[in-house]
Chain A
């Protein structure tokens, strides 16, 4: 027979094999692992950002397979297909089959130039992995092929097994619960998932994870150090620039990482864990010292005590709008007033947090209180103080409307909702995105309104204050009146595209359905945010109302999800001390300081970019103010973060952090939390949030506003990760309006990251 003939006369193949075998050990070559599967994920068609809706388009996603990917059994466990690793290449449908005599993790290398994603060229290398536990779980018999798909989600499972100590089953169950899909579906190629709900959840998660994992590959390829990845700006050492140089650069910080560790860092950028949901309640115009310990606002104080408190959180401008601009894009572009100016010249993925979230496949919402009911695509607010009708009135301050009468007999006034307090509106390309109107929604803090379970949210009015106890009930009256007005007009909600009736509390509905954004910026009306009232229980009740609603949701009680609630303020009042990206020593600024940096932090130009510019926007000419007259920062405000992991008892609450942070630091933190920037590439952080100590040092010659800095650590931006430890004897800067922290020199009693979670990595 043929086989016998070949046994007697070995084929060239057999000879070649034998030659190779001679180089190997004498162990048996028998297979103990046969696998087949698909390398799959999702394809993200990126959004197009432009100043007009006509030129803009939103992102879209689709299930995808990777053809031409290298698949191997990773015998070294280094997350790479090395010589000697059994390997193959995926077919056009993403499929592969492979065997190994040694059970080992699987790796899929997505290669630039050879791999395609749904037929689209790969622009950045990526690596997906499978833990051996997944292979074992899929193995009926070692003699039969196990079906094992290599996907971004299989990589998340591997990371959870490696870093959280979970079993394979627990890791899969947690992932499924976190993203809201069936455990039986989460490790399938998204193309094979038949449930539309599961497929959508898996595709979204795949897009998010692919972005993170792509960063990990860059960390490895670039040789980034642990110090860079965990946000230690003293590493590499910059002692000449930063005299505090507290942490130094340890050997561990100088070490580089292979893919498995790099992927863990990619889900913990600068030490900031990934959050699934962040809710920010933005208050107005009060310094930290006027709020902290004030018995008129007991709830906000109790939250600050239960969660984490940042003692040196600096606001960035006065009046309001520059702060909101910073909150939206880590810069105020030199704006010093409430001018109601859009910023058409600042465009692109890294122009603002809204664009960056869209481009990463994440969602966002701005929930506004006392939102004036008006139809989508109309100019319902005719006469209001704005000039752009393209967004159906979303740009307008609400008009006064005498026909809307609250229970106390007053009529609806335009001062209730201020469009300047919407941090997305002023970024022209964010507002031009198709999802802008869908993301701008209503929120109610109505007195005794229900939580997601229908339970009324009561409030204990502080008895030791002299304020009118009825004050805090007015918001409820307004929301009821606005809802009645909308019903009478037959208005629909613009955030549903006009498909549903007007809902004055879409926030509650979104919590009930789980349809809140990954990032949610909650803007109370000006009666509820202390703007019109000062520090009064009414704002405290509104904050409690929102927090109780979140706490009653399934998102909050789910230990697989990371959820954070932030309460902070736009302005700190009572001070002009700058911090964290704003150097107060700017009197010598000449010319202005707007400079341009590439993504790797290289300075491009100054003089030409420093001048005011003029650009046509929606048919109108816009001239931003000269940057040289920009803000010099503002005072310290309360900033507290309270997480569901603290509430669930998985991490301790009640800690504080005395390092210097600002609105710009918060935007940098959000970029880490949502995976929007690359710690190994300083210039990838948006606008002034890239101004770390290292960045300033490297670009000091073109950043004259920092030339005179006496304390670069104070002036530089950093993530709110508590990495920095004050050296013994170094006294903290305490700004007017701030509260002297319990510790004024040396490290804090606990250097724990106030954003830390029990899910430190995937």
Chain B
């Protein structure tokens, strides 16, 4: 029985993979000069011969292992679980929605922000990863901040352990890698069923 489930899952996964169009899953990381690290993932479509990614979605990010995630206090939730991406407009020296966000493997080319708000209209996020390399204005810096996860408990403001800044940034510290194909929505149930079977098989093996 167990072997059958595993085989079924493999088949289902293979079917799902064959149905992919272009969306892919990417992992990223940046290690700051003081040792702090931001990690995460997003989905997107490779462009420029695989050197850049557009159509960014499903953004997840963590600073020092603590996720950019909502916090609820007295019934009020701060922070948005859905992270957004905005591009840096060097002409305006601001983030905006007019330019599609492109994220590059080459860290010297990035100009974007991930945050829980639309950075084009809201400059008060609860967490953010801003990565600006604006040669026209002489700005090359990264900041990762999780203002809801401070260790300065008296203030809940960002501080040394949940506030990372590199200015100037170090392009070589930016790591971006494609992880695995992502199925299109119509193949997702089938893929999930196969993955679920695979997972169940694995769980049962560990339990044994």
Contacts and interface: CB of A to CB of B under 8 A. Distances in A.
Contact of A3 (B67, B151, B157): B67
B149 interface: yes
Nearest to A7: B69
Interface size class of A (residues with CB under 8 A): 35 or more
Interface in B72-129: 72-74, 76, 78, 81, 93-95, 113, 115, 117, 119, 123-126, 128
A6 B94 CA distance: 31
B21 interface: no
A144 B39 CA distance: 19
Contact of B165 (A10, A36, A140): A36
A254 to B, nearest CB: 34
Nearest to A3: B67
A7 B81 contact: yes
A6 B124 contact: no
Interface in A28-84: 28-32, 34, 36, 73, 83-84
Given A30-B125, A30-B126, A141-B95, A88 B65 contact: no
B163 A32 contact: no
Max chain B C-beta neighbours (<10 A), residue from A16, A140, A143, A147: A143
Interface stretch (A93-101, A417-425, A547-555, A743-751): A93-101
Nearest to A8: B69
B158 A99 contact: yes
B142 to A, nearest CB: 9
Contacts of B14: none
Contacts of B147: 29-31, 99, 101
Interface stretch (A19-27, A221-229, A361-369): A19-27
B78 A34 contact: no
Interface in B138-159: 139, 141, 143, 145, 147-159
A450 interface: no
A195 interface: no
B163 A3 contact: no
A11 interface: yes
B48 to A, nearest CB: 26
Contacts of A84: 154-155
A143 B158 contact: no
Nearest to B40: A3
A30 B124 contact: yes
Contacts of B78: 21, 28-30
B126 A145 contact: no
Given A28-B124, A88-B159, A17 B150 contact: yes
A22 B115 CA distance: 24
A142 interface: yes
B70 interface: yes
A3 B141 CA distance: 24
A247 interface: no
A4 B167 contact: no
B159 A99 contact: yes
A585 interface: no
B60 A99 contact: no
Contacts of A499: none
Given A7-B69, A140-B139, A13 B156 contact: no
A642 to B, nearest CB: 47
Interface string B148-178: 1111111111111001010100000000000
B115 A3 contact: no
B71 to A, nearest CB: 6
B69 to A, nearest CB: 4
Interface size class of B (residues with CB under 8 A): 35 or more
Given A3-B40, A144-B130, A32 B154 contact: no
B41 interface: yes
A310 B65 CA distance: 72
B145 A34 contact: yes
Contacts of B155: 20, 84-87
Nearest to A146: B167
A2 interface: yes
A132 to B, nearest CB: 16
A618 B141 CA distance: 62
A40 B73 CA distance: 39
B18 interface: no
Nearest to A19: B153
A98 B163 contact: yes
A77 to B, nearest CB: 16
A97 to B, nearest CB: 5
A97 B126 CA distance: 17
Contact of B157 (A4, A16, A101, A143): A101
B115 A143 contact: yes
A21 B71 contact: yes
A239 interface: no
Contacts of B65: 2, 6
A136 to B, nearest CB: 13
A143 B167 contact: no
A458 B163 CA distance: 68
A143 B141 contact: no
Given A3-B61, A141-B123, A88 B69 contact: no
Contacts of A143: 95, 113, 115, 119, 123, 125, 128, 130, 143
A18 interface: yes
A100 B155 CA distance: 9
Nearest to A5: B67
Given A3-B61, A7-B67, A141-B94, A26 B163 contact: no
Max chain A C-beta neighbours (<10 A), residue from B145, B152, B157, B159: B157
Contact of B124 (A26, A31, A83, A147): A31
Nearest to B143: A145
Given A3-B40, A3-B60, A143-B128, A17 B141 contact: no
A97 B165 contact: yes
Interface in B10-66: 39-41, 60-62, 65-66
Given A99-B145, A99-B159, A1 B41 contact: yes
A14 interface: yes
A298 B119 CA distance: 72
A7 B145 CA distance: 17
B130 A99 contact: no
B143 A3 contact: no
Interface in A82-115: 83-89, 97-101
B93 A145 contact: no
A87 B78 CA distance: 22
B69 A18 contact: no
Contacts of A2: 39, 62, 65, 67
B148 A29 contact: yes
Nearest to B130: A143
Given A143-B115, A144-B139, A4 B156 contact: no
Interface string A392-426: 00000000000000000000000000000000000
Top 8 closest A-B pairs, CB basis? Answer: A3-B67, A30-B124, A99-B158, A86-B157, A7-B69, A21-B73, A142-B123, A86-B155
25 contacts: A3-B68, A7-B67, A7-B70, A17-B148, A17-B153, A17-B156, A20-B153, A21-B71, A29-B126, A29-B156, A30-B117, A30-B124, A31-B125, A31-B145, A34-B145, A73-B157, A84-B155, A86-B157, A99-B145, A101-B124, A101-B147, A141-B94, A142-B123, A143-B95, A144-B132
Interface of A: 1-4, 6-7, 10-11, 13-14, 16-22, 24, 26, 28-32, 34, 36, 73, 83-89, 97-101, 140-145, 147
Given A1-B60, A26-B74, A86-B157, 12 more contacts: A17-B149, A20-B155, A22-B74, A26-B76, A29-B126, A30-B125, A87-B155, A89-B160, A143-B113, A143-B115, A143-B143, A144-B130
